[in-house]
Amino acid sequence: MAIDGLADRLARARTAMRSAGVDGWLLYDFQGKNPIFWQLLGITRHATRRAYVLVAANGEATILCHRIDVTALAPFGLPLRIYTTWRELSDALPALLSSCRRVAMDYSPGCVLPVVSRADAGTVEWVRSMGIEVVSSADLVQAAVARWSTADLADHRQAARELMASLDAALAHVAAHMGRGLTEDQVAAFLRAEFGRRGLVTDDAPIVAVNAHAGDPHYEPGAARPTPIRPGDWLLIDLWARVDRPGTVYADSTWVATVGREPRPVEGQVFDVVRRARDAAVDAVRAAVGFARPIAGWEVDRAARAVIENAGYGAAYTHRTGHSIGQQVHGPGVNLDDFETRDVRILTPGVAVTIEPGIYLPEFGVRSEINLVVGEGTVEVTLPEQAAITRVG
C-alpha cells in the first residue's frame, strides 16, 4: 500500500462510487485519528490540523489542508487547496464540495460497522448542513483500501514466513528453559526480539498465555504479573507482525501447545471443535468463490460458529470469527462477524482476513488462527493450519 499505488486505489474508488451513485468520497482526518485517510493515500505522514481528501467520482482527487501541513501532504502529488484560519476553512470546504449532492464519508449509520466509523459527528453534521446527502463509505473502503496489491501479498507472505519461524524459535526457547522459571512476558519479549532480528515490526506485544490465562482472548502478559511457564502447562501464543517498512501489511497467527506432556482428552476435544470450525469457515469461502457466489462476512462467521454451537460450546465462543488485515493488524475491510456486528460486506478479490475461532473455558482456552486471501476465483490460506496440539519438550 505505497504511494505509487495511489492511482490504482483512486481508480477502484471511482468505479465503486459510480456503482453506488455517489458524487464523491470525502475523507477527513485530524491528528491521525482516521487510518482509512492515510491508507488511501498510501502511507501515514505527520499532520496535525484538519485535513480532507475529496475523491470525485468523475474527476480528480483533491486535498484540503492547513498551511502548516503542506509539507506532509504535498508528496502525494494531488492538487492542494490550502487554508490557514477557521474562517478560510468555513469557506473552503463548502467550495470543495460545491458540485456534490451525495457524498460518502467514513461513518456507519447507527455505528453498525465501527471499523469504518472514523468521521466525527460534527464533521458529518457540517457536510449535511450544506444540503448534501451523506452515506457510508464502507463499500468504498472495501474496494479501494482493504484490497491488497500483488506487492502487498508478497510482503504478507514474507511476514508470514518470518512470523512462523519466530513462533518455532519461541517454542524451542520454552522447551530449552522448561522448569527454569521462564515467564509469559519473557517469551513475549523473546518474540519481539525475534521479530527485530527477522526484519519484522509489530504494534503491540504478542499474547503468551498459560492455563486459565489462555481463556482470556485478549490477555496481556506483563512483568508486573510474571507468570512462569511450567511443565504440565497449557500454552497459547498469539503473534502478529509485518515487514519493517512503511506501508506493509500484517500476518497474524495463534497456536496452542502443551508443555512437557501429552494433551488431556478434554483439551483434544476442544481443539478438535475449534479446528473443525476454522476449516468450516475456509470451506465456506472456497465453495462460494468456486461457484462465483458472493459471500458476506457474516455468513463465514455463521459457518464457523455453527460448528462450535453444535458441539455445545457456543457460550464459550465470545468473539467474531475473523477480522480484516491490512497496514493495521485489524484493518478496515470486511470482518467475519455475525456476533459483535453484522458485517454484510462481500469478500471480494484482494481482501485478506483472519479466521480465528476460539473456545474459552475457566481452565484453558483454544484458538486456531490462519490468514486467508481471496483472489480472482482463488482462495489462499497463507499460514500453516494447525492440525494437532503441539507438544513442547
pLDDT band, very low/low/confident/very high, at 2 (cuts 50, 70, 90): very low
**Mean of the pLDDT values across residues 92-118?**
96
Q: Which of 117, 144, 171 represents a domain boundary (last residue)?
A: 144
Q: What is the pLDDT of residue 224?
A: 86
Encode 302-330: b = buried (16+ Cβ within 10 Å), e = exposed: bbbbebbeebebeebbebbbbbbbbbbbb
pLDDT band, very low/low/confident/very high, at 223 (cuts 50, 70, 90): confident
CA 19 to chain centre: 25
Q: Are residues 243 and 282 in the same domain?
A: yes
Q: Distance between CA 257 and CA 233 in Å, rounded? A: 9
Q: Are residues 125 and 193 in the same domain?
A: no
**Mean of the pLDDT values across residues 216-238?**
94
Q: What is the pLDDT of residue 225?
A: 85
Q: Are residues 292 and 163 in the same domain?
A: yes
Q: What is the pLDDT of residue 140?
A: 96
Q: What is the pLDDT of residue 4?
A: 64
Q: What is the pLDDT of residue 98?
A: 97
Q: Are residues 126 and 226 in the same domain?
A: no
Asked whether residue 3 carries a pLDDT value surpassing 90, the answer given is no
**Mean of the pLDDT values across residues 172-181?**
94
Q: Which of 144, 168, 196 represents a domain boundary (last residue)?
A: 144
Q: Distance between CA 107 and CA 94 in Å, rounded? A: 19
C-alpha cell at 66: 492547513
Q: Are residues 83 and 164 in the same domain?
A: no
Length of the chain equals: 393
Share of the chain above pLDDT 70, in %: 99
Q: Are residues 108 and 244 in the same domain?
A: no
Is pTM beyond 0.85 here?
yes
Asked whether residue 387 carries a pLDDT value surpassing 50, the answer given is yes
Q: Are residues 161 and 94 in the same domain?
A: no
Q: What is the pLDDT of residue 143?
A: 93
Q: Are residues 235 and 384 in the same domain?
A: yes
Domain that holds residue 116: 3-144
Tally of domains in the chain? 2
Q: Are residues 82 and 229 in the same domain?
A: no
Q: Are residues 372 and 258 in the same domain?
A: yes
Q: Which of 85, 111, 144 represents a domain boundary (last residue)?
A: 144
- Strand duo 379-381 + 61-66: pairing: unpaired
Query: CATH no. for residue 252?
Result: 3.90.230.10
